[in-house]
Structure 1
């Protein structure tokens, strides 16, 4: 009686093959009878807070707000310069209209540039204003926390100092002067003395506010000459806004750098020039640099014996 051979003893070519299962057909995306309750959270992924994690430190908020504020201020600079160029072009067309007829295309382009530059600069100024007020508040609190003092200005007084007409000419400058004074670690009982960078910003801020108020008041005047004067005032107000925004960028970077817990970037080293023929020397560092350790110490060579007198 014949018996079937053992499949394990047969060569690979003679072994019986198992039928492969047919691939499943694609039936489309899954369907649910109700809205699923699971899913990913909206926004970027963040590390979940631990039990010992508290609220963000004021200096972290200052750093984050400065990173958001500086690009918006650059947008204010660009949009304000575009608006100033548009107002200057409009004034040039007004001068040409006194003797010649204007091209409808030139007038249409001028009106479009004035509209775009004006409203874009206004939107950028509002966004920069909100961020600047928030940044100044948290930088004031971060400076006080770093110095170990308690800030005496409340949140309402800081916001009112930026927004109330008349008061906003002095309050922002004094607020930033106190923040700078505290961030530099100067005595609390000493009167704050603003730096040159802050003083230049303060002057430009006052000029920008006054020009904006003058441009707003000029809208209520009527007449051809009043319209021409309004174009000139608007052009100067746009230039002032661009310069004030640029100076604000410098102040934001300056004060934010003072509030950093550890200085970053290149360090300045004072090098003294030595006598002729000698290399320049530098002062000794505050802390000695660690010397590399050798695997085994090698003894210094013995000095040559001094010659004896004959």
Structure 2
């Protein structure tokens, strides 16, 4: 073929096919595919062998063997709130107390309004105080609940790890048991009871039971206070103000009990101080003197008998013989030792 069937280009030089080799103006040459891009690579220079290192003194360096570094604990989403748990509990209890005072002031305004008109500024101040205190108390309660759930997850993990086990309940189930309404009245007490059930000190378990009862009572009281707000009569609404104040006081008490339970589980008192263990022992044995009393030796006993005999002899007219030098020295030495 003289022409390319695709591009119709010349395939051979114009010459006869059967021409001899000396009459052809082309020849076949075999080259590598990358002949045009390859360049001659100069041989790498051979490094001269380095001299053996020599030292004028004993080298003081050695292999570095740093101590193993502890792996940082993984950060969990709720860890940022756990450190503020104590502060949040205190502020939440204080805000619920302020909310209760605001409800009592509103009730006083209602009593005053039965016979006299209320100034609009006083009414505005009362409404604003009730609204702001209630909203702040609810916001702080929500943040405190998040921090408390994080503390519960971390405390259970550490307790089970100290016992050589894994927490049988996953974090998602702990969160769901503490957040879902109605269920969160029962499961938090179960989670805390599992945490302190194996402890030899019964104070933590007793504190959990007291808190559990107060927690259920506070939850039921909150539901009753919300239901009371649906009343239509004026007297029922006024009673609802007092009932709300009572519910706020109970919420403040439950918050303080929560702080007490957390500090008790951690081995501290309500103020956050480490609790010192005290042990009481029954003193049933007789008292033993610390210093042994001085008992007279045989010579002193014999000398006391001779002294008694001399005194009795002197009474009978006998002559008393003084003690010899050796006996006097021994007697003085024994007195010094006795002292």
Q: Shorter-chain TM-score category? A: 0.5 to 0.7
1:124 Cα shift? 1.1
Do 1:177 and 1:194's aligned partners in 2 also have CA atoms closer than 8 Å?
no
Structure 2 partner of 1:250: 260
How far 1:130 moved relative to its partner?
0.6
Q: By how many angstroms is 1:101 displaced? A: 1.9
Structure-1 residue corresponding to 2:194: 178
Q: How does 1:195-210 map to 2 (within 5 A)?
A: 195-210=205-220
Is the 8 Å Cα contact of residues 81 and 146 (structure 2) preserved in structure 1? no
RMSD value, Cα = 3.8
Q: What is the CA–CA distance in structure 2 between the aligned matches of 1:70 and 1:193, rounded to whole Å? A: 20
Question: Is residue 2:157 matched to residue 1:141?
Answer: yes
Q: Conserved in 1, the CA contact under 8 Å of 2:267 and 2:275?
A: no
Q: What does 1:147-226 align with in structure 2 at a 5 Å threshold?
A: 147-182=163-198, 184=199, 195-226=205-236
- CA–CA separation in structure 2 for the residues paired with 1:118 and 1:128: 15
SS in 2 for 1:257: coil
In 2, distance between residues paired with 1:171 and 1:225? Answer: 37
What residue ranges of structure 2 are gaps of 5+ in the alignment?
Answer: 1-66, 291-295, 304-339
Q: Given that residues 66 and 256 in structure 1 are in contact (C-alpha distance below 8 angstroms), is that contact kept between their aligned partners in structure 2?
A: no
- Cα 1:146/1:118, change in 2 over 3 Å: same
- How far residue 136 of structure 1 moved from its aligned partner, in angstroms, is 1.0
Where does structure 1 lack aligned partners over 5 or more consecutive residues?
1-49, 187-191, 281-303
Task: Give yes or no for contact 1:66–1:252 (8 Å, CA) kept in 2.
Answer: no
**Conservation of the 8 A alpha-carbon contact between 2:103 and 2:241:** yes
How far apart in 2 are the matches of 1:201 and 1:221? 31
What is the CA distance between 1:274 and its match in structure 2? 8.4
Partner residue in 2 for 1:98? 114
Q: 1:68 aligns with which of 66, 84, 90?
A: 84
Counterpart among 89, 109, 121 of residue 125 in structure 2: 109
Distance in structure 1 (CA, Å) of the matches to 2:219 and 2:136: 18
Query: Structure 1 residue 237 and structure 2 residue 247: aligned?
Result: yes
Q: With a CA cutoff of 8 Å and minimum separation of 6, indicate the structure with the bigger relative contact order.
A: 1
Distance 1:105 1:241, change over 3 A: same
Q: How far has the Cα of 1:214 moved from its partner? A: 2.4
Which of residues 125, 138, 146 is equivalent to 1:130? 146
TM-score by length of 1: 0.61
Distance 1:277 1:175, change over 3 A: closer
The answer to whether the 8 A contact 1:211-1:233 is kept is no
- Measured in 1, the distance between the counterparts of 2:287 and 2:297 equals 33
The answer to whether residue 90 in structure 2 is matched with residue 80 in structure 1 is no
Deviating runs (4+, > 6 A) in structure 1?
274-280
